[in-house]
Structure 1
Amino acid sequence: MADTSETRSAPLGLRLFPRVKAALEDAAKADRRSVASYVEKLIVADLEANGFLDKGAAE
């Protein structure tokens, strides 16, 4: 079970090609999420799928 007292406090910055950023913004909008929320969703799904993060640990 996830530690519910944990807050999102670790920033992450990255540079993207403008086309990639535009596609990311479109995908986030289609999923009714902010870009940050959408990127977190993608990262968590990949980490869980590859065994780096327990399923549900980031909820």
Structure 2
Amino acid sequence: NMGVESTVREGWSLGYGMVVVEDACSSFSSEAHDFATTQILPRIARVRSTAQTLNALGAS
């Protein structure tokens, strides 16, 4: 989660609309992953699943 969080924070600070594909990321523990994807990242990014992301991109 640390690398993803750092990248998302930097992109957000530069004005980018950030999307995090939640089930394509991992962390040191499931607790850290869950905390990042439910408490931190939704404040500065859209947190979506792979299926949601592919659907939004028009992939089948």
**Quick check: which has more Rg, 1 or 2?**
1
Higher normalized strand content (fraction of residues)? 2
Give TM-score, length-normalised by structure 2.
0.32
Higher normalized helix content (fraction of residues)? 2
Give TM-score, length-normalised by structure 1.
0.32
